[in-house]
Structure 1
């Protein structure tokens, strides 16, 4: 079933990272960094199924060239602790086809990112049946007259902007799922905000899926199995209690409480 996952993180020099390296790795391409003289070559990556750069209207043509774009980004930053890029990572609904994934991403990028002045480098990875997208974003506004980048837009870094992205991604996914006649839906809100008395699962990424292929159950997946079992037992317990109440059998308050104790996650099982 479709799952909700959207995370946002910054690419910063304080952690020894660069925009050129990040772009090369995600796109599975070879990029030369003019600032450091390094070459980042990830052209052997096989899981990249789609790559495209989206720009705002009137952006210069060079902005659609991956190597030129991210070298220009690096050149615009002078601080040693500079935030050189922002990344949005999203899980793509498995109920949609690859072409539907592209339509979903294009609609989201146009309405939420490039319309606000950002340049978005969009890449889809599909490794071990785990389709997801990396959206690498510029943090500065494009300067049309000076053929480079201008000031940083702090509004793009606000909590309100993050919440808008989270909500809009869910809406875009659900719209495409509805068009595809799928009954699956996702919700960006926490279980508590949805009024659901359940334990949230943890995100299972590509590494865990790769372990599955080798017959190894990751701790993250095992934890999720325990969580699902616990949530199911809580729902079943409440259903049973509801049925008893319909039969007018006296039930004490202590019986209505579901234990909050949760079993510790198992170690990795190598099968």
Structure 2
């Protein structure tokens, strides 16, 4: 998003500054200071885009950067002389590189050059998220014939009967009014370019206070602050911005809540039917949980607690761990209680306003969404509108599920298998409870219509869940066919084994070959592993807030763009690789790895799932070894290949025998 930043400073000899060094740093050119014969050069990762812009009456030599600033150093003789003005301006990220350059040139020409200044312009894009340009401006004007003019003229005047000499500036470039004008003009030019190129964003030179906003403006961080942060050091400017962003986030959220409350208070016909006791309990829950109690916030907090619990489950027993586990248990109980209140209230609401709405046929999420939409739109929904609300909710859930699925495939398989088992158990309990025997059609009458509908729902649910597993299996089959087109045994892998092969290919960026079993590849070096582990250890620290955690993840993604932080399979592979090199990494980092990654709980669940199957042949310690020290991952793949090939050979042999028997029967006939 386009931001407004326009800072102004004077480069002066009093501050022991030098225009040659300043110009060299901003332009990326090697310049020689003729006074000291020193060469000034500052290597930049990305070459700046530079221009020198000058009024028509300026001498030709101003277009030579080295001569321009050496001439400035020569003409200014005072020990405290002001040498140049430097302005730093943020460019709108929405514009293309060409549009940004055109905007900077046009602004400088119209605002500074037409006023008589020479502008040394340098556009910096070292950080694509922070495109900006520097302008070094001459402070001394040029005469019409191209010679240096005077900054000031001295005049005599009589004050209190005494003659005094007063210095008068020949230009208004140093006035506060001029600076305000420049700041305003930058907003005008930038907004014109944004509008011309079809972007709705706009910037303003006005402060938040002048705009009537309660939020606090952020300050310019600069390359030095970001460099300190990348080195793991604290930057005061970045800390201030983080605090202000967190404050602004709260102000914005409060503003939204106030706005929603005002809308509901103005025109409220459909009211929530909470009992006085329920209202009191919800207020207490909101206070204890420190969140606005609604269904979405409850689910978000529940997910956070689940992740926290998974990390603590494998921590060493201590008083601190015990306290945290107790807190998780207390909060979970409060969330369950608040959710039950919301669900009961939603049911009462639907019974009052939608007497024909069949509560039993709809999930808790669907019921609550219908209630929320009714209250928000302040009208009774038609059957068509209710159907649309439910479809939209399903679409949102599918989008979330797809994201979770693609980044949490092993957990998805396990959760689906658990849901299938749960549906089967519920179905069987209902069947036994009602004495239904499907071999005897007359027993179906034992069950009520309501329970028969529930049994049909469970059968349909199981069918859909099996389809989901089938779709994931097809996804794996397509990937394996592309990876190993000449290996027929791949079709005999279990879904867990297929995941292992796909997981390895995603991580290493190549197919696993027999050579890898004897010499496993390594993706990250020792130093890279240690740095990534430390980053995740900081991210998983429960004492840092959400904003700081997000910032840490962004820094990790920036340094290691190929590391898929949201992909659990990828994180499993990294965890496994680190376990393989645990001796190199050291005990401290390994402890951080185990505390930061919640993959252990997943591995544990995968292990139990694999033990229940016979996919890897006879039960052994293969899986548990892989989970504990990471040494047997490639042995698991090798075993899977042998087992799949064995099944393929048996199937081939069975097919040949079947064909042989078929031919013999034909001959007998």
Question: TM-score band (shorter)?
Answer: 0.7 to 0.9
1:66 paired with 2:83, answer: no
Structure 1's unaligned 5+ residue stretches are 249-262
Preserved contact between residue 48 and residue 123 of structure 1 (Cα < 8 Å): no
Matched, 1:104 2:103: yes
Which of 1 and 2 has higher RCO (CA within 8 Å, sep 6+)? 1
Q: Number of residues paired by the alignment?
A: 255
1:157 aligns to what SS in structure 2?
A: coil
The answer to whether residue 112 in structure 2 is matched with residue 95 in structure 1 is no
1:179 match = 196
Superposition deviation, residue 99 in structure 1: 0.5
Displacement after TM superposition at 1:188 (Å) = 0.5
Task: Report the equivalent of 1:20.
Answer: 20
How far residue 54 of structure 1 moved from its aligned partner, in angstroms, is 0.2
Deviates more, 1:220-229 or 1:92-101: 220-229
1:14-44 deviations in Å (ceiling 9; x for gaps) = 11111111111100111111223322122x2
Structure 2 CA distance for partners of 1:18 and 1:210, relative to 1, 3 Å: closer
- The equivalent position to 2:257 in structure 1, one of 212, 219, 237, is 237
Q: Is the 8 A contact 1:73 1:149 kept in 2?
A: no
SS of aligned partner of 1:53 = strand
1:234: how far off?
Answer: 2.7
Q: 2:378 — aligned with what?
A: none
After superposition, the C-alpha distances for 1:49-69 in whole angstroms (9 at most, x for unaligned) are: 300100001321101000000
Worse overlay, 106-115 or 116-125:
106-115
1:196-229 alpha-carbon deviations (Å, 9 max, x no partner): 2222223233345557778999524522431331
CA distance in 2, matches of 1:247, 1:17: 64
1:1-271 correspondence runs (5 A): 1-42=1-42, 44-129=43-128, 130-145=130-145, 148-152=147-151, 153-209=170-226, 218-247=238-267
**1-side partners of 2:255 and 2:221: how far apart?**
24
Q: Do 1:201 and 1:227's aligned partners in 2 also have CA atoms closer than 8 Å?
A: no
The TM-score with structure 1 as length reference comes to 0.84
Aligned 8 A contact 2:48 2:124 in 1: yes
Cα-Cα RMSD: 2.8
Question: Conserved in 1, the CA contact under 8 Å of 2:46 and 2:124?
Answer: yes
Q: Which has the higher helix share?
A: 2
Once residues 96 and 229 of structure 2 are traced to their aligned partners in structure 1, the CA distance between those partners, rounded to angstroms, is 23
| 4+ aligned runs moved over 6 Å, structure 1 | 211-217, 265-271
Residue 137 of structure 1: SS of its match in structure 2? strand
Higher Cα radius of gyration: 2
Equivalent position SS for 1:190: coil
Mark the runs of 5 or more structure 2 residues left unpaired by the alignment: 152-169, 269-544, 557-669
Instruction: Note the C-alpha offset of 1:242.
Output: 1.4
- Which protein is richer in strand relative to its size? 1
Q: CA deviation at 1:243?
A: 2.7
Question: Shift of residue 154 of structure 1?
Answer: 4.0
- The Cα shift of 1:102 comes to 1.1
Contact 2:216 2:244 in 1 (8 A): no
**8 Å Cα contact 2:218/2:241 also seen in 1:** no
Distance of aligned partners of 1:220 and 1:123 in 2 relative to their CA distance in 1, 3 Å threshold: same
- Structure 1 pair 128–220 and aligned structure 2 pair: CA distance change class (3 A): farther
TM-score, length-scaled by structure 2 = 0.36
